[in-house]
Structure 1
Amino acid sequence: MDNISSRYEIPRTAEFLRGRAYTRVALQFPDELLKDAAPVSRALRRELGGGGGTKLFVMADTAYNSCCVDEVGASAIDAQCVVHYGHSCMSPTSNLPAFFVFGKAPLDVGACCRSLLDCSRESNKPILVLCGLEYAHALDDLKGAAAELCKSDSCNHEIQYADVMCSEMSPSSSPTAEEQCPQSNESTHNDDLANFVNSCCNVEGSMRKYNLGGLTWSISIDEKIDDYLLYWIGEDNSAFANVALTFNKCDIVRYDTVANQLSRDVSYLMKILRRRYYLVEKAKDANIIGILVGTLGVAGYLDIIEQMKNLIKAAGKKSYTLVMGRPNSAKLANFPECEVFVYVSCAQTALLDSKEFLAPVITPFEAVLAFSRGREWTGEYLLDFKDLITSEKPEVASRSKEARFSFIKGGYVEDDFPQENEEHPETSLALAELTEKALSVRNQNNDAVLYQGGAKSAIDYLKARSYRGLTGEYEVAPDTVLIGRTGRAAVYSDEKTKQ
């Protein structure tokens, strides 16, 4: 039990809950930690006094992604706060405060320190040490061990360590660093913090401050992050991919905490980046776009959805907004009209592998590149959609012709857009004809049942399908629909109460 108390930080969690007088608390566990849910809740209840003043509810099988705070599930039990256990993307919450317990994954500090100093001797760059949040507990020991070894050994360059931004989070629709982490030691009166909303990098005086995936660090304004060697401690997971793709111009190495060895090969991540560029080019040919809602809790998700709608509309395309929980190929196959999907999710789950899907799935950043005429990819890559949120409406289009590669026409084409002062009453008709032509090219099989003629609206697409649920051929009158069982799985309403 002492191990549970230490690993899950029971005393600190209880102090947080008592200090704010929360009486209904949701404990969110990922699947791999669910086995510890019962002992953790018992230990926390004892630490809180064992009375009935605070009710604890265990949550599992989250509505979307386990790395995000499940505000949808917590709202079902009217929770006042969520205690999130395990790996977290640290995405800002919309409605509920959250307390994070990252856990304490084992780390061989001595072996990691020796590997770090070897990199320092071999590299001609300063080193920035980043880590998975579950290894943050060992950073102080690593700093101390590295400082001791540097006294007896020559270190060619500076070694800098990132810090954990916060472990407490307050809800916000405009997630600045200070709003989300009120306990931060940084000054809360810096006017420059207002600029943090739309970037993971913020200039404060003579320093450039970075915040990414729950980690924060600062470098001199005279330096560039590209000049650093990034030394990642942790697993090859979504958090590492977020760092590697965001800072894809940096040299990156990863210390494998399981094998206790250094991995320098991150070329596969660059292959991912090249594939994302291919999807951007392919998305330019799409006429009907589905906006997949991959979160209902991350602050700003409604803003980015609205921004995507405006962007798609300005590009002369049609969009549908779809809420379906965790997307998969079977779910998306129900919407064959959509030629590409834009996935609005947290930064660490935004890269959805769509190789097995009927249509590609891109991120909001990739949608901006695909649907904003004249926008070129400079190598910069953003996964966090909050960095894209803007109050300005997207430009309708570039006035000049733009040459691009068309996957439908099989060659380079030029898009010619009208001047603002020109009137084109036939624009809507031309767009409808273009959409119908694109659909006919995509589906040239006369025996196919997905399309019947030129569909112009969502209801036409529905009518063209061979199966439509409880409508059409299998239509059932409302008065003949059977009501299913109600209640909990343990005791349904039509069963006798179990003794």
Structure 2
Amino acid sequence: MDFESSYDIPRTVDYIRSIGYSRVVLQFPDELLRDSTSVAKALRSELGKGVRLYVMADTAYNSCCVDEIGASHVDAECVVHYGHACMSPTSTLPALFVFGKAPINGNACADLLNQCLSTTEKPVLVLYGLEYAHAMENLKGMVTNSSNLRYGSSTVHFAEVSFSSIDPPVKEKADKEQLDFHGNIVNGGDKIISEWNSHNEVGKYFLGGLTWSIAKDHKMEDFLLFWIGQDNSAFANVVLTFNTCEIVRYDAVENQLLKDVSHQQRILKRRYYLVEKAKDANIVGILVGTLGVAGYLHIIQQMKELIEAAGKKSYTLVMGRPNSAKLANFPECEIFVYVSCAQTALLDSKDFLGPVITPFEAVLAFGRGRQWTGEYVLDFQDLMNSSMTKVVESSEEARFSFIQGGYVEDIDSQENGEQKESTLALAETAEKALSFRNEHADSILFKGSARSGAEYFAARSYRGLSTQYENPLPQSYLIGRSGRASGYEDERNTKGND
């Protein structure tokens, strides 16, 4: 496949010219950075000198998201995003997505898809990585022609790319448009909009940049999901969201069909363990994993309110891409809530000092009386307009902790009132913690009974370099040694005397 077709040079030129952008950022992931200069030269030869192009790499957070913070450094008017994309809505800048065109053996894929059709009585829904979207029309034609002869024409359905460019919501209409777009939360946490056509009522689903419709008398559990692509974050999003569906994966690189996806479904067991562990935490760190996805400030505020209503203390941390070394600087946080896009929300925290959970898992952990029914929501925008994040009155009854193996009583939110974020309240908390430091240090450090970072910090034996000295007067200065390291002047004098 030629270079211009692979990177959609003509479509990109038409998009920039149609709106009249003059400052455009080209965002590349690390694996495509080698082609960035060639893409920029090809676009510049078509657009001329009237359009300034900037190549951006090494994004502050995740390469699948549009890096609006980096683009704002050059006052960009739009971003052209290349490579794998999570398709999360932007906050301030419009964006054009160029997915690329990964190679795929269409005949082999069609044969394996027909094989699935012959061995199952379920209708088949074909989902795919966006890098294979260019081959779907040909694949659809090959499968439809062969299935009409053997299996019937209504047994296979193909998802479609929902959009290839996006504009930020208008500020005064953002709330209404957001409510209309997301609709209601249904099984699996996916977005659904009910609409009428000439025959029946259909449900329209959106997930990872794909959209598809199913009839009123069907559920997602009734379908066999046929995934075309790699075992990556996009596939994990599908497996966890539709964890009750039968799923097979066609590996286009190895050209084989894989029916065992249990390794992805086992992730749910560990996530359930992290939810139970989060229930026993008193201090929660909210990790900001994006500064560009629309609605991230809203969900952070909802997490703060949820944690405060549960009688726990929260701290908001902005540190770019989290790693074990960064999170080790906050040992007082027993659990972290990671606010990020849907495809990077599952952060492997086995090497971290504290577990990292998603906003959906935080809702399950900090909302008293909530039961996990098996549904799973990775996109925090699905939570914002649902009733799941609404603060409910916590019960005063003790709950059973599976981690501690007994009944525990949570801290009352009224008792935790001194944790308000003000200078006076923080000083009072620190003074109170210092007064009980010697008596409760072991309990606070090793049993996790600290209610705030100040209380945890006061219980530690080492609290950093102290600026308080017994003698406030400065010491007199001393004259240092002079000369070279091979022989200072005082050393020469000593040798001369000898």
1:169–1:427 CA distance, 2 compared to 1 (3 A)? closer
Find the counterpart in structure 2 of residue 443 from structure 1: 445
Find the counterpart in structure 2 of residue 204 from structure 1: 195
Offset of residue 154 of structure 1:
3.3
Find the counterpart in structure 2 of residue 403 from structure 1: 399
Greater share of helix: 2
Answer yes or no: is the 8 Å Cα contact 2:183–2:192 preserved in 1: no
Offset of residue 152 of structure 1:
3.8
Q: Matched residue of 1:358: which SS? A: coil
Q: Matched residue of 1:66: which SS? A: coil
Answer yes or no: is the 8 Å Cα contact 2:279–2:366 preserved in 1: yes
Answer yes or no: is the 8 Å Cα contact 2:28–2:81 preserved in 1: yes
Q: Matched residue of 2:266: which SS? A: helix
Answer yes or no: is the 8 Å Cα contact 2:25–2:56 preserved in 1: yes
Q: Is 1:255 matched up with 2:250?
A: yes
Find the counterpart in structure 1 of residue 209 from structure 2: 214
How far apart are the structure 2 equivalents of 1:304 and 1:122?
44
Answer yes or no: is the 8 Å Cα contact 2:444–2:459 preserved in 1: no
How far apart are the structure 2 equivalents of 1:402 and 1:472?
44
| C-alpha distance after superposition, 1:196-223 (max 9, x if no partner) | 6995122223010000000000001211
How far apart are the structure 2 equivalents of 1:128 and 1:193?
23
State the structure with more CA Rg. Answer: 2
Answer yes or no: is the 8 Å Cα contact 2:184–2:386 preserved in 1: no
Offset of residue 399 of structure 1:
3.4
How far apart are the structure 2 equivalents of 1:54 and 1:470?
55
Write the mapping of 1:40-55 to structure 2, written as runs, cut at 5 A: 40-48=39-47, 50=48, 52-55=49-52
Q: Is 1:17 matched up with 2:16?
A: yes
| C-alpha distance after superposition, 1:137-156 (max 9, x if no partner) | 00000011112222443359
What one-letter code is carried by the residue in structure 1 that aligns with 2:193?
Answer: N
1:137–1:465 CA distance, 2 compared to 1 (3 A)? farther
What one-letter code is carried by the residue in structure 1 that aligns with 2:445?
Answer: N
Q: Is 1:358 matched up with 2:353?
A: yes
Find the counterpart in structure 2 of residue 35 from structure 1: 34
How far apart are the structure 1 equivalents of 2:139 and 2:288?
40
2:160 to 155, 158, 163: 163
1:461 to 457, 461, 481: 457
Find the counterpart in structure 2 of residue 305 from structure 1: 300
Offset of residue 397 of structure 1:
3.1
The alignment covers a number of residue pairs equal to 448
Q: Is 1:64 matched up with 2:66?
A: no
Task: Single out whichever of 39-48 and 290-299 deviates more from structure 2.
Answer: 39-48
Query: Tell me, which stretches of 5 or more residues in structure 2 are unaligned?
Result: 421-428, 475-498
What one-letter code is carried by the residue in structure 2 that aligns with 1:200?
Answer: K
| C-alpha distance after superposition, 1:457-485 (max 9, x if no partner) | 54972895747489789xxx9xxxxxxxx
How far apart are the structure 1 equivalents of 2:397 and 2:450?
29
1:225–1:109 CA distance, 2 compared to 1 (3 A)? same
Q: Matched residue of 2:2: which SS? A: helix
RMSD: 3.4
Answer yes or no: is the 8 Å Cα contact 1:176–1:194 preserved in 2: no
Find the counterpart in structure 2 of residue 119 from structure 1: 116
How far apart are the structure 1 equivalents of 2:381 and 2:30?
27
How far apart are the structure 2 equivalents of 1:368 and 1:425?
20
Find the counterpart in structure 1 of residue 424 from structure 2: none
1:57–1:277 CA distance, 2 compared to 1 (3 A)? same
Q: Matched residue of 1:84: which SS? A: strand
How far apart are the structure 2 equivalents of 1:297 and 1:113?
39
What one-letter code is carried by the residue in structure 2 that aligns with 1:394?
Answer: K
Q: Is 1:412 matched up with 2:406?
A: yes
Q: Is 1:368 matched up with 2:367?
A: no
Q: Is 1:26 matched up with 2:42?
A: no
How far apart are the structure 1 equivalents of 2:324 and 2:147?
52
Find the counterpart in structure 2 of residue 495 from structure 1: none
Q: TM-score, with normalisation over the residues of structure 1? A: 0.82
| C-alpha distance after superposition, 1:366-412 (max 9, x if no partner) | 000000000010000000000111497733434363632252xx213
How far apart are the structure 2 equivalents of 1:461 and 1:117?
62
Answer yes or no: is the 8 Å Cα contact 1:93–1:170 preserved in 2: yes
Percent identity between matched residues is 56
How far apart are the structure 2 equivalents of 1:118 and 1:176?
46
Answer yes or no: is the 8 Å Cα contact 1:207–1:218 preserved in 2: yes
1:177–1:37 CA distance, 2 compared to 1 (3 A)? farther
Answer yes or no: is the 8 Å Cα contact 1:173–1:300 preserved in 2: no
| C-alpha distance after superposition, 1:158-188 (max 9, x if no partner) | 10000000001001289999969xxxxxxxx
How far apart are the structure 1 equivalents of 2:130 and 2:278?
35
Find the counterpart in structure 2 of residue 339 from structure 1: 334
Answer yes or no: is the 8 Å Cα contact 2:86–2:341 preserved in 1: yes
Answer yes or no: is the 8 Å Cα contact 2:129–2:228 preserved in 1: yes
1:246 to 241, 245, 261: 241
| C-alpha distance after superposition, 1:318-365 (max 9, x if no partner) | 000000000000000000000000000000000000001110000000
1:195 to 183, 191, 208: 183
Query: Tell me, which stretches of 5 or more residues in structure 1 are unaligned?
Result: 181-190, 419-423, 446-450, 478-499
Task: Single out whichever of 228-237 and 150-159 deviates more from structure 2.
Answer: 150-159
Find the counterpart in structure 2 of residue 233 from structure 1: 228
How far apart are the structure 2 equivalents of 1:344 and 1:455?
23
Offset of residue 275 of structure 1:
0.1
Q: Matched residue of 2:213: which SS? A: strand
Answer yes or no: is the 8 Å Cα contact 2:335–2:357 preserved in 1: yes
1:207–1:45 CA distance, 2 compared to 1 (3 A)? same
Answer yes or no: is the 8 Å Cα contact 2:126–2:159 preserved in 1: yes
1:78–1:178 CA distance, 2 compared to 1 (3 A)? same
1:443–1:470 CA distance, 2 compared to 1 (3 A)? closer
Q: Matched residue of 1:342: which SS? A: strand
How far apart are the structure 2 equivalents of 1:428 and 1:67?
40
What one-letter code is carried by the residue in structure 2 that aligns with 1:204?
Answer: E
How far apart are the structure 1 equivalents of 2:334 and 2:124?
43
